[in-house]
Amino acid sequence: MERLKSIQDLDALRQQIIERRRHIRKRIRVCNGTGCHSQGAERLVDAFNRVLEERGVARDFLVVPTGCNGFCAAGPIVVIEPEEIFYQRVKADQVEAIVERSVLADEVIEELLYVDPTTGEKIVHEYEIPFFAKQERMVFKDTGSNFVRDIGDYISRGGYSALAKVLSGMSPEEVIEEVKMAGLRGRGGGGFPAGVKWESCRRAHGDIKYVMCNADEGDPGAYMDRSLLEGNPHQVLEGMIIGAYAIGAREGYIYVRFEYPMAVKNALWAIEQAKQYGLLGDNILGTSFSLDMHVNRGAGAFICGESTALMASLEGKVGEPRGKHIHTVEKGLWNRPSNLNNVETWANVPLIINNGGAWYASIGTERSKGTKIFSLVGKINNTGLVEVAMGTPLKRIIYDIGGGIPGGRRFKAVQTGGPSGGCVPDRMIDLPVDFEKLKEAGSMMGSGGMIVMDEETCMVDVARYFLNFLVEESCGKCIPCRVGVKRMHELVVGMCEGRAQPGDIEKLEELCYTIRETALCGLGKSAPNPVLSTLKYFRDEYEAHVHEKRCPAKICKPLIRYVIDTDKCTGCGLCRRRCPENAIIGAKKECHCIDEEVCVRCGICIETCKFKAIYIE
């Protein structure tokens, strides 16, 4: 590929690609996002290619391994374009039939269709499924149809046209003005206005400046950054190149956690391609603007998502944060002006440039503009990635898009913001979700994880879970976080294990306020959030643990017993044989019982019993 030397070259290339693909009759989209990939999507791609090859029609149809489709609960997913026929849970041995009936012919295979759980109806087209129909996908729109390893696919869809627009007549100040007008706020958690940050970095003194992308995504349960970077890396890259132009940076870094090998690979590969096409490197699109880009892997520390710790780790130091009194836009990486934004923040930029800041600002709420991608996970029917306009009510996300709670159980709370966030209880289900409203509710936006919890989730256990996470992830630099969070953890573990004393809840609260005031960085300052928000809305559960030594959700092992219902037990003996501890006794055909002393409450017997005769007390 010869480097593109001008904006006209890019336009011509786009026309060429479209022309070259005109003969393709159907596109077969096979989702290769992480969820589908882990269930064997790669085998599907191979199978489709093989079958098309065998039939001698490989030229007429295109198999597209795409980025994450977002509807992970339905994976592995195959969508056939142009009709957009949606097949779910596809297995490799069904590929032959799909090719035969839906690719070569125009039949729809009923068994593979999605069934709407509320109406029981089968739905043929992707755009009709409520999960998609009720979203407002902008940033994540193309990921599920993007041919990940083909920059041509991105370009044919109008990719890099925002960069072309910027380089063909916008001054850096105009670019910044547009992003400011859009009201784009950082998607990595803090919600700081991106345009303002860019402006400070542009104005900062220094010849060498850096743009950086935060793809550390340490929040357990969030995977939108990963899916964007894996599935549509050029969109992120285009945003960064535009940002670098606006700031005056000549070098950029993408910091990806090593646990995301596919994101690392795809980012590296996208950079390589962009360089070949003259969209990165020296004299981008024939202009005087040049930019170099690197990918660095993080080594699995939550704190390295924090801006100053991230930069320390890039320099080859231990990933400890520093106080924020010196801003990274002035003295960041190697003490030079550095502008760090989150993956999703960068992915918004091309949209803003293409459609204008005013258009962008018309979406969302007064102070939170645009859309947000959430990862809807936990006790929810439609697990997946969901993009909605800021201000969308929680109810719409959980019920209309998410399809509600499995097993007809009751919705209890949703946890947002990861280890720095908190829980929003069921009675606030109408809350419009944006930066401000989540904060008012005692939680925060964070990176966009939404973990849904039902009546069988213990809120004290959830607090214990996050504290345990934070104890492990605290870098140890400041005492409030290193020691304080540990003490909090001990107190909450005590509650879960029935050792709590009266007054422990108050002690816990006092620790929360002290740590919030005194910790060095965002990790410590926000560490009390998971406890404070559960205390605020579910204090009764804490009290039950402390005063009655009872776990209302029946989760905390030391506070529960497994019991056999004498009316239901048939004495079949299955649980007795399966029990790894030999804790179940009873003669054949007679009611069994569990030796509480020996039982470790592992759950095998409940899962095994065909008569639902074992319950928790």
Partner 1 sequence: MENILQDVDAIIDRWGAKPESLLQIMLDVNHHFNYLPRESIVRIAQCLGMPVSHVYSVATFFKVFSLTPRGRTIVHVCTGTACHVRGAPKLLDRVRQDLGLDPGQTTEDLAITLETVNCVGACASAPVVVVNGETHSEMTPNKMAALVKEIEKQSA
Ligand X SMILES: Cc1cc2nc3c(=O)[nH]c(=O)nc-3n(C[C@H](O)[C@H](O)[C@H](O)COP(=O)(O)O)c2cc1C
Q: Which two tokens stand for residue 147?
A: 């041919």
- Contact call for residue 489 and ligand X (CB under 6 A): no
From candidates 469, 537, 538, 562, binder to partner 1 by CB under 8 A: 469
Asked if residue 320 binds ligand X (CB under 6 A), the reply is: no
CA pair distance 503, 308, nearest whole angstrom: 38
Among 117, 158, 300, 558, binds partner 1 (CB under 8 A): 300
In angstroms and rounded to an integer, the radius of gyration of the C-alpha atoms of the chain is: 27
Ranges within 203-222 binding partner 1 (CB under 8 A): 218-222
Q: Is the Cβ–Cβ distance between 23 and 59 less than 8 Å?
A: yes
The 8-class DSSP code of residue 428 comes to G
259 binding partner (options partner 1, ligand X, none; Cβ < 5 to 8 Å by kind)? partner 1
Contact 62, 28 (CB under 8 A): yes
Instruction: Note whether 345 binds ligand X by CB under 6 A.
Output: yes
* Cβ neighbours around 388 below 10 Å, total: 21
Residue with tokens 């989150």, as numbered in its chain: 342
Residue 296 sits in the site that holds partner 1 (CB under 8 A): yes
What is the smallest separation between the CB atom of 14 and ligand X, expressed in angstroms? 29
> What character string, x for contact with partner 1 (CB under 8 A) and - otherwise, covers 581-600?
-------------------x
Reported in sequence order, the residue ranges of 405-444 that DSSP labels E, i.e. its strands, are 411-416, 422-425, 432-433
Q: What whole-number distance in Å separates Cα of residue 115 and Cα of residue 77?
A: 14
Q: Which does 416 bind (CB under 5 to 8 A by kind): partner 1, ligand X, none?
A: none
Q: Is residue 447 involved in binding ligand X (CB under 6 A)?
A: yes
**Residue 184 binds: one of partner 1, ligand X, none (C-beta under 5 to 8 A by kind):** none
User: Which of 196, 193, 239, 209 has its CA nearest to residue 344?
Assistant: 239
Single out the segment in contact with ligand X by CB under 6 A; choices: 185-193, 244-252, 311-319, 362-370.
185-193
Q: Is 217 in the site for ligand X (CB under 6 A)?
A: yes
Q: Virtual CA dihedral for 14, 15, 20, 26, nearest 10 degrees? A: 80
Candidates 156-164, 175-183, 204-212, 293-301: pick the segment binding partner 1 (CB under 8 A).
293-301
**Which of 561, 506, 540 has its CA nearest to residue 412?**
540
Binder of partner 1 out of 465, 543, 549, 552 (CB under 8 A) = 465
The token pair at 349 is 């930029």
Q: Can residue 13 be called a binding residue for partner 1 (CB under 8 A)?
A: no
List, in order, residues 6 or more apart from 399 with CB less than 8 Å away: none
**Residue 604 C-beta: closest distance to partner 1, Å:** 5
Q: Which of residues 324-383 bind partner 1 (CB under 8 A)?
A: 375, 377-379, 383
Q: Count CB-CB contacts under 10 A for residue 39.
A: 18
Q: Before 82, cis peptide (omega within 30)? A: yes
Which lies closer to ligand X via its Cβ, residue 337 or residue 522?
522
| 3-class DSSP state of 386 | strand
**Ramachandran angles phi, psi of 323, nearest 5°:** -60, 155
Given ligand X, partner 1, none, residue 371, with its beta carbon under 5 to 8 Å by kind, binds none
Stretch that binds ligand X, among 150-158, 232-240, 433-441, 518-526 (CB under 6 A): 518-526
Q: Which one of 19-27, 516-524, 558-566, 603-611 is the stretch in contact with partner 1 (CB under 8 A)?
A: 603-611
Q: Does 308 bind partner 1 (CB under 8 A)?
A: no
Q: Which does 384 bind (CB under 5 to 8 A by kind): partner 1, ligand X, none?
A: partner 1
Cβ burial, residue 266 (10 Å; 0-12/13-18/19+): buried
Tell me the torsion sign for CA atoms 401, 360, 197, 259. positive
Cα–Cα dist 276/158, whole Å:
18
Binding stretches for partner 1 (CB under 8 A): 34-35, 38-39, 72-73, 75, 218-223, 226-227, 258-260, 296-302, 313-319, 375, 377-379, 383-384, 415, 418, 449, 451, 453, 457, 462, 465, 469, 472, 475, 578, 580, 600, 602-604, 607-608
Binding site for ligand X (CB under 6 A): 186-190, 192, 214, 216-218, 302-303, 305-307, 340-342, 345, 447, 521-523
